[in-house]
Chain A
Amino acid sequence: MKSFNYHSAKDSKEASKLSSSNSAFLAGGMTTIPSMKLGLASYKDIIDIKGIKKLSGIKVSGKSVIIGATTKHVEVANSKDVKKAIPSLALLAEGIGDPQVRNRGTIGGSIANNDPSADYPSACVALDAIVHTNERKIEASKFFKGMFETALKKGELIEAIEFKVPEKSSYQKHPNPASRYAVVGVYVAKHKNGTIVAVTGAKPCVYNDKDLSKALDSNFSANSISGMKLKSSDMNSDIHASAEYRANLVVIQAKKAVEAC
Chain B
Amino acid sequence: MTEITLDVNGKKIKKTVPDNTLLSTFLREHLNLTGTHVGCDTSQCGACVVHVNGESLKSCTTLAADIGNAKVTTIEGLEKNGKMHPMQEAFKKMHGLQCGFCTPGMVMSAIDLLKKNKNPSDNEIRDWLEGNICRCTGYQNIVAAVKEASSKM
Q: List 5 A-B contacts (CB under 8 A).
A: A33-B22, A33-B43, A97-B131, A103-B56, A103-B57
On whether the beta carbons of B19 and A5 are closer than 8 Å, the reply is yes
On whether the beta carbons of B55 and A103 are closer than 8 Å, the reply is yes
- A-B contact sample (9 more), CB < 8 A, given A29-B62, A33-B61, A99-B131: A6-B19, A6-B66, A34-B42, A36-B20, A99-B112, A99-B128, A100-B109, A103-B56, A104-B61
On whether the beta carbons of B131 and A2 are closer than 8 Å, the reply is no
Q: B29: CB under 8 A from chain A?
A: no
On whether the beta carbons of B20 and A30 are closer than 8 Å, the reply is no
Interface size on A, residues (CB 8 A): 28
Q: B37: CB under 8 A from chain A?
A: no
On whether the beta carbons of B131 and A101 are closer than 8 Å, the reply is yes
Tier of interface size on chain B: 20 to 34
A4 to B65, CA, bound (A): 12
A5 to B58, CA, bound (A): 22
On whether the beta carbons of B49 and A100 are closer than 8 Å, the reply is yes
In chain A, positions 27-65 with a C-beta closer than 8 Å to chain B are 29-30, 33-34, 36-38, 46, 48, 50
Q: Which of the listed residues A26, A33, A178 has the most CB atoms from chain B within 10 Å of its own CB?
A: A33
B residues with a Cβ closer than 8 A to A are: 2, 18-20, 22, 41-44, 46, 49, 55-58, 60-63, 65-66, 109, 112-113, 128, 130-132
Question: What residues on B are CB-neighbors of A48 within 8 Å?
Answer: 66
**Shortest beta-carbon distance, A96 to chain B, in Å?**
10
A residues with a Cβ closer than 8 A to B are: 1-6, 8, 26, 29-30, 33-34, 36-38, 46, 48, 50, 97-101, 103-104, 178-180
On whether the beta carbons of A180 and B2 are closer than 8 Å, the reply is no
**Shortest beta-carbon distance, A110 to chain B, in Å?**
14
Question: What residues on B are CB-neighbors of A3 within 8 Å?
Answer: 18-20
